[in-house]
Structure 1
Amino acid sequence: MSHFKKVCAMSGGGMSVVDRIQVEDVRVLSDNWYLLTKATFRYRRRDGTWQQQSREAYDRGNGAAILLYDPARRTVILTRQFRYPTFVNGYDGLLIEVPAGLLDEASPEQRIRAEVEEETGYRVRDVRQVFQAFMSPGSVTEKLHFFVGAYHPADHVAEGGGKEAEGEDIDLLDVPIAEALAMMERGEICDAKTIMLLQYAALHLFPEVAGS
């Protein structure tokens, strides 16, 4: 059992959630892009009483994200692109991120290899999954698989930039790890998955940076 699964298994206090949920109704609110549903259910509280609740959940599938790092040059690969939801929430800039994408029925490793080449033009050789996380569990079902992978400048085999037909217009950033961490501290990097992977890198891939 993976560390992630062990933690999740322990978090329920030994009681399966299935024993505490009675789903009464699930209604589709929107199926235009991904699936938005509203569920009505009864939930057994800690004191044993049952309480009726309703929740909306947005199902866009699971995804994968990766931090490409060059241990020799002490650099990481980041992307920069327009994100409409951040724009309508007051963010006036292109969002700096690690390469990421939805699985679309592929395995996490298959998807992240393809996504890296589409977005950055790098053909990554060795990738390693380091953890998984639910990114917005209050409303979105998505679970994200987080990877790291070493790269070399010679691995740049294509133009990258994403798929124009899907509206992608992605810039590529080759940044020293120290500068990437400084950008995070200055608020120039404010994407959650990117912050999580940069923090992982500071602890496990470039620990001397975290201790400096």
Structure 2
Amino acid sequence: MAKEEAQGIRILARETLSEGHYRLEKVTYTQGGERQEREVYHNGTGAAVLPLDPTRGTVLLVRQLRIPALVNGDGPMLVEVCAGMVEEGDDPAATAEREAKEELGCRLRSLRRVFTLYPSPGSCAERLHLFTAEYRPEDRTGRGGGLAEEGERIEVLELPLAEAWAMVEAGGIMDGKTILLLQQARLGAA
């Protein structure tokens, strides 16, 4: 079966609307003989990781600027797990390890893939690979903060898992991937 046709859905046309930071495209397709159009935002494949120190019960998170949150009327600084885009030729695990070093200043132990998901499949083609890992105080080898040349100004947060979850319940953590990984850690599946 052709990539452009699956389960009775046939793509008729794809038009690039924008080549900004990411690509936005209009897809024209038929479903059950009916012609429809949707916009698809292509922001790539990402990887995210929640490091947990099981001895101390702490997790490492980041706080960083997220313009879409500001545009929606929320605070612009969101608390999240560290994450990044999977570069051409990399695998998601390598991306998670690289991002932990850049954003958290941390070396990971026992990296474990939890699952892969589409965070917002109604309009976004992004696919995320989610991981958990362990760390110890001696694995915090740098200050983190991200890459200045990429405009990153990231604050590193080390919190007890219980405090991080209390932030979720109070609305202080609103990022979906972060909530899912914190829940994994709370369930003892990390």
Same fold? TM cut 0.5: yes
Shift of 1:177: 0.8
Give CA deviations for 1:93-138 in whole Å, capped at 9, x if unaligned.
4110000011022100011100010000001132000111100100
Q: Matches of 1:147 and 1:171 in 2, distance apart?
A: 20
1:108 matched to 2:96? The reply is: no
Deviation at residue 23 of structure 1 after TM alignment = 1.4
Percent sequence identity is 44
Q: Secondary structure at the match of 1:36?
A: strand
Identify which of 136, 141, 146 aligns with 2:120. Answer: 136
- 8 Å contact kept, 2:67–2:76: no
1:36-185 pair list within 5 angstroms: 36-44=24-32, 50-105=33-88, 106-185=90-169
Give distance in 2, aligned partners of 1:205 and 1:52.
44
Structure 2 CA distance, aligned partners of 1:35 and 1:22? Answer: 21
Return the offset for 1:34: 1.5
Structure whose residues are more often helix by fraction: 1
- 8 Å CA contact retained: 1:120, 1:161: yes
Q: Which residue number corresponds to residue 187 of structure 2?
A: 203
Which residue number in structure 2 is paired with residue 186 of structure 1?
170
TM-score (norm 1): 0.84
Give the corresponding residue for 1:25: 13
Q: How many angstroms apart in 2 are the aligned matches of 1:42 and 1:205? A: 42
CA–CA separation in structure 1 for the residues paired with 2:51 and 2:145: 16
Q: After the TM superposition, which parts of structure 1 deviate over 2 Å for at least 4 consecutive aligned residues?
A: none
The one-letter code matched in structure 1 to 2:122 is G
Task: State how far apart, in whole Å, the 1-side matches of 2:164 and 2:133 are.
Answer: 17
Helix, strand or coil at the partner of 2:172: coil
**Aligned alpha-carbon RMSD (Å):** 1.3
TM norm structure 2: 0.93
Structure with greater proportional strand content: 2
Contact 1:61 1:104 in 2 (8 A): no
What SS is found at the alignment partner of 2:56?
Answer: coil
Distance in 2 separating the partners of 1:56 and 1:93? 25
- Gap regions ≥5 residues in structure 1: 1-16, 45-49, 207-212
User: For 2:107, what is the secondary structure of its paired residue?
Assistant: coil
**Bigger Rg, structure 1 or 2:** 1
Distance 2:163 2:28 in 1: 48
